[in-house]
A and B are shown apart, each in its own frame.
Chain A
Amino acid sequence: MENNAEMQKFIAQEQQKAMVGEMVGKLTSVCWDKCITSTPGSKFSSGETTCLTNCAQRFLDMSVIIAKRFEMQ
């Protein structure tokens, strides 16, 4: 039934969006705690911005290492 196929596609897309959103949310929370150590100002310092970016990318690097390690077991 066409409606069902469309609905399934829709659900798959929304699940994907939810997973991505959860990842971003968790990472922002973790990186905020790591990088924003003082009282929030009216803008980020360049150090804080760099830290946030590094934090997210290093987390990705770590995920690769963990996945590889897990594969070897």
Chain B
Amino acid sequence: MDSFSSPTMSSSGSPGDTEALMDQIKAQLAQAYAQEFLETVGNKCFAKCVTKPGSSLSGSESSCISRCVDRYIEATGIVSRALFSSSR
């Protein structure tokens, strides 16, 4: 269950241990967030761009997917800004 490979942390560890652990946690969180984002984008763009799956992705499907990813990232920014800078 413990996915950290670090040695046993005791409360008498040096500040360096804490720092290293925090860095490790941050890296794993970043990876988890990125993975989740990719999964969401994949679902959305497959739904929008690949309406009738053929024996391979067509050129238009590929460019649609490309645009879709860009747009979804842009949409995330728009929603983010709308939530945190609403002048109300």
Q: Is the interface of B mostly helix, strand, loop or mixed?
A: helix
Minimum C-beta distance from A65 to chain B (A) = 14
Q: Is the interface of A mostly helix, strand, loop or mixed?
A: helix
Tell me if B48 and A52 are in contact (CB < 8 A): no
On chain A, the number of residues with a Cβ less than 8 Å from chain B's Cβ atoms is 32
Q: Which of A6, A21, A31 contacts B18 (CB 8 A)?
A: A6
B65 (CB) vs chain A CBs: closest residue? A40
Tell me if A44 and B74 are in contact (CB < 8 A): yes
Does any Cβ of B come within 8 Å of A62's Cβ? Answer: no
A41 (CB) vs chain B CBs: closest residue? B67
- Give the interface centre of B37, B40, B49, B79 by most chain A CB atoms within 10 Å: B79
Q: Which residues of A contact B (CB under 8 A)?
A: 1-4, 6-7, 10, 14, 18, 21, 23-25, 27-29, 31-32, 36, 39-44, 49, 52-53, 55-57, 60
Cβ contacts A to B, 6 pairs, < 8 Å: A4-B11, A24-B79, A36-B71, A42-B67, A52-B79, A53-B82
